[in-house]
């Protein structure tokens, strides 16, 4: 379960670690003010050993955070905040949280990437570097681990400016004799501690492109010192000697990118992008058919094959639950006191978050508890179903109809099996599903479901119960939004009459329907 955490800078709650790194720990967190996920990067402060170094670190931290925040490009996670306390024990960068697959997962010596896939990744990196270098900001630590590919195929370059904060572009030895930095992708000038320039990033890009196409690094020295020497003095093996099907122009590009002297490399990232253009798929083209990674790995060519495409219909919403399989309900005793207390704590925590109108975080707190309780009690145990129903309702309150809809559909099916097709919980979930569909523009199905629930309510409670009146209003409003004014009027006229009897003509709901009827009649008169 997402637990309460101390807040960073009074507003950022650390939920769970999402990965270590040479620069420090990265956490998935929540912005308590805006109720959105964020990535919170704890910057290592072990480079500080004196007051003078602390002051210098603070200056670098603020400068680099501000400069990095100026890179306005979709391929760079946006910097939201920088937190630095007086003791320098807690130094954080708060950034956009990105879900994606590390480029490291694409590197495979058995199944190297197709030229199209590799070119698509490299070209997207070039667009990012062109924006950064114009500021100018040099990344200094470009490598597969600092590149993510989202489900939509968009490449995100991580950790801009962090290397500069820690000065890892300057080769130094620690007390154990180990060099600092990522030497497999480090340009000769970085290895030698010389001036870092935009062409230093292009050298690293050449190393990454080589590795994508053959599945092995440009140089593979057994020790850090050997590797450093290879980057400074040795010539790389040409790509076509390792993989003959690589086009000569791509081989030439990699050799130019990895030239020893910065001035021998391409002038800028834009030139590299132009040299990659012939190898990018055209809009509407089929995906490259050879050397593709396994299923589930995002396709970086999508950005070029289907530019500005709509959100795929087949993508399951993040965090949505599939329809559960029918399984028997273990007795409550299986849960034990600890699980009951955990469920109570999760509900209480979500209530606190709801009080602050932090709907996304409140829903996540219950989602994690649903997974834990479901593993013990079963997906259709009454407590698990209640937690799922509460979570889905919170999603609706927060306006996340797309995520809530499949959960309410699954819940309606589950309750139909456990309580009957006309049970109260079944009907409640069916009604919520209709509400979600109405919000998503699925009017025909929403109307059918609203009417199905209304028929049940009328049979059980009559036509003027609170629930029946609400459903009749929902149906009328949905018809109105679909511009079926005659059908809407046929719903609203008897509804207004019943509201006058039940609540009186001056009640807020009665006046609302009266105003709707006036507008409908006015439109009809025209």
Annotated active-site positions, please? 141
Eight-state DSSP code of residue 401 = H
Q: For residue 216, what are the contacts with CB-CB under 8 A and spacing of at least 6?
A: 109, 242
Query: How many degrees, rounded to 5, is the angle at CA 465 between CA 441 and CA 388?
Result: 50
Cα separation, 455 vs 191, whole angstroms: 76
Running DSSP on this structure, what letter comes out for residue 12?
E
**Helical packing angle, 336-355 and 382-397, nearest 10°:** 10
According to DSSP, the β-strands at 26-31 and 36-42 are antiparallel
Tokens of 273: 């992008």
Q: Token match 């207004």: residue?
A: 496
With contact defined as beta carbons under 8 Å apart, do 186 and 217 qualify? no
Tell me the three state secondary structure of residue 261.
coil
For residues 198 and 129, is the Cβ–Cβ distance under 8 A?
yes
Chain centroid offset of residue 269 CA: 27
Distance CA 8, CA 24 (A): 16
Task: Identify the burial level of 399 via C-beta atoms within 10 angstroms of its C-beta, where 0-12 means exposed, 13-18 middle and 19 or more buried.
Answer: exposed
Q: Is the peptide bond before 275 cis (omega within 30 degrees of 0)?
A: no
Question: Tokens 């497999």 identify what position?
Answer: 184
Angle at 325 between CA 319 and CA 326, to 5 degrees: 135
- DSSP conformation letters of 273-322: HHHHGGGSPPTTPPPP-SS---TTS--TTHHHHSTTPPPPTTPPPTTPPP
Q: Residue 290 — φ and ψ, nearest 5°?
A: -115, 155
- The length of the chain, given as a count of residues: 526
Give the closest residue to 395 by CA, choosing from 371, 366, 424. Answer: 366
Separation CA 328–CA 362 (nearest Å): 29
Q: In the chain, count of helices (H) and strands (E)?
A: 19, 9
């Amino acid at each position: 379960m997402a637990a309460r955490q101390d807040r960073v800078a009074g507003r950022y709650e650390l939920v769970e670690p999402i990965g270590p790194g040479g620069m420090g720990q990265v956490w998935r967190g929540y912005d308590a003010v805006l109720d959105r996920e964020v990535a919170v990067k704890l910057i290592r402060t072990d480079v500080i050993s004196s007051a003078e170094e602390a002051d210098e670190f603070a200056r670098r931290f603020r400068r680099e955070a501000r400069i990095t925040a100026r890179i306005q490009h979709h391929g760079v996670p946006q910097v939201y905040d920088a937190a630095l306390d007086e003791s320098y024990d807690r130094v954080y960068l708060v950034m956009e949280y990105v879900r994606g697959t590390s480029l490291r997962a694409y590197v495979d010596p058995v199944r190297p990437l197709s030229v199209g896939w590799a070119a698509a990744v490299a070209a997207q990196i070039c667009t990012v570097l062109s924006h950064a270098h114009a500021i100018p900001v040099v990344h200094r630590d470009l490598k597969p681990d600092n590149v993510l590919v989202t489900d939509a195929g968009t490449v995100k370059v991580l950790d801009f400016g962090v290397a500069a904060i820690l000065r890892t572009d300057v080769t130094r030895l620690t007390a154990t004799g180990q060099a600092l930095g990522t030497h497999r992708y480090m340009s000769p000038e970085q290895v030698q501690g010389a001036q870092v320039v935009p062409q230093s990033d292009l050298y690293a890009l050449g190393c990454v492109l080589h590795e994508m196409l053959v599945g092995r690094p440009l140089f593979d020295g057994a020790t850090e010192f050997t590797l450093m020497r290879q980057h400074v003095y040795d010539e790389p093996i040409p790509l076509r000697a390792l993989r003959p099907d690589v086009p000569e122009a791509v081989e030439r590009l990699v050799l130019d990118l990895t030239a020893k002297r910065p001035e021998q490399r391409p002038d800028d990232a834009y030139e590299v992008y132009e040299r990659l253009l012939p190898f990018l798929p055209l809009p509407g083209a089929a995906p490259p058919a050879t050397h593709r990674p396994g299923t589930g790995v995002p396709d970086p060519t999508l950005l070029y094959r289907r530019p500005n495409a709509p959100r795929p219909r087949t993508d399951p919403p993040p965090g949505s639950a599939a329809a559960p399989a029918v399984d028997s309900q273990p007795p409550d005793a299986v849960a034990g006191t600890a699980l009951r207390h955990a469920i109570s704590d999760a509900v209480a925590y979500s209530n606190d978050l709801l009080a602050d109108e932090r709907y996304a975080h409140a829903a996540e707190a219950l989602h994690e508890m649903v997974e834990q309780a479901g593993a013990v009690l079963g997906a259709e145990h009454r407590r698990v179903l209640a937690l799922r129903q509460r979570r889905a309702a919170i999603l609706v309150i927060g306006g996340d109809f797309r995520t809530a809809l499949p959960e309410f559909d699954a819940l309606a099916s589950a309750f139909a099996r456990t309580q009957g097709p006309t049970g109260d919980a079944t009907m409640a979930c069916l009604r919520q599903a209709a509400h979600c569909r109405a919000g998503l523009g699925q009017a025909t199905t929403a109307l059918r479901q609203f009417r199905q629930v209304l028929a049940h309510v009328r049979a059980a409670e009559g036509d003027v119960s609170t629930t029946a009146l609400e459903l009749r209003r929902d149906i009328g409003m949905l018809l109105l939004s679909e511009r079926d004014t005659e059908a809407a009027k046929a719903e609203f006229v008897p509804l207004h009459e019943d509201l006058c009897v039940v609540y009186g003509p001056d009640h807020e709901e009665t006046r609302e329907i009266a105003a709707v009827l006036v507008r409908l009649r006015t439109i009809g008169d025209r």
